[in-house]
Structure 1
């Protein structure tokens, strides 16, 4: 059998690899607000992503591919996992310099993974757990709970082979893609960048973000719609017989699930508008009027926030109305 690919097989291999990469980065896309909220400038996160995300990731992946190819050529073994490479180095050369080099490499790998686990896994999980169950979790408890359930899920089985790991990333993307798509379309299209800060931090029945018993039904239906289309192909990665079309759909699962969920969510919000959406307000009008206490509506009228005598809240009062 030839070791090279061509034609449609090469094209699908490239598309599948990109989809796996998106599955790997999908958790960062969905959890980015946990970190971006500390930014003092709207563009503060842009340059860090442009400079420090694509180039190091591409260089690291290229070094891994070249290293595996060199080992296969020199020793006749194909090793993708770093710890397997370290064992192979010591098996071939049990010398002082080799042991020192393996120690430094292993230490740097451990330090790198510690940073990734802390920033990309523990902190987002703890933030979500604290938000959902504030009576039981804080950031510290959430992180420890994440560590416990991570061991119970036996992640080493996922890393048993390169193909299994890639299958996991492809499948992981179909669950995270709809989440990111709904978040993006909700902010940029549905709400036009407007957030009611006071309502975002209360679970009272009158809050604009309580929806139906705390569940945004439009978002829930859009998520299920986006996830279900490539889900059949995802089952094929576990050995179940599925049509070729379903397998192809799974190979681009992140894109399919994200696009379907985003489109369905926007359409549902048009057909069944959310209670916290005011289409007359212009783009990020609530944010632009926060400091001045005034909000510009899309129709030209201006609202001013004034204290309510009965509550420790602010009510909206129209102080200027533009008529035709």
Structure 2
């Protein structure tokens, strides 16, 4: 049962007792740039991550795309992705339960799930690293494009931090270093976080929250409502209402009580195109979606600089 608790703690960005006890701290690199109005009291932190993902059979999208074809109406109503980490945690938990109660079925189920998880992770470990165009160089490119647009079209009244974190694929690596170094200087009442993660698929999506084990909506819905209003006003298509069972760097500022939102992208099967696949190359990106993310962020800065900022920040609470 301790193994199940350790896995759940690690993948959900908990205290990570087992990781800290068994691993030496590793070094990664974050890139932080400042743009916008350097004297402004309000700050928008726009985040990405610049490491690339592994491949493996676990990331095959055939089943998801088949379900979308066979039952499109049912599939359309499901706005929360499948909890893929639950079987991994269930394997040692069922084995422990079977050993403690003498239930052979629970033990066999735990062994079967454990073998499947072990094979899956072994396959991932031996598989090549993807080119990473969608996940997540699309977001890094958006940071560069946003910096260029701010130089051409400055927005007074908001400072912008452009942050690209390393080691996101190990379940949030670099964001912890950024938090330790920068959170003490970022006033929770005057700072917002917007995370870009895999934004090169056809449809731009703002997810409401995430949770590998327990679903957590991002802090301060009013900020997400503000982004939605800006998108409507600017005529930028943006889907809402979806939640992810994977983890992103956004969970760290959200738990620190910063108003937080994440932009991702999907195709018609609600899949991130070429996600963790060797086909994740530049020619397979939807550059229009990346452009919409940048345009939305630039327009959001104008809203945050004005009176609308009050609706997107937990002032006084």
Name the TM-score, length of structure 1 as normaliser.
0.24
Larger radius of gyration: 1
Which of the two has greater helix per residue?
Answer: 1
Name the TM-score, length of structure 2 as normaliser.
0.24
Larger RCO of the pair (alpha carbons < 8 Å, separation 6+)? 2
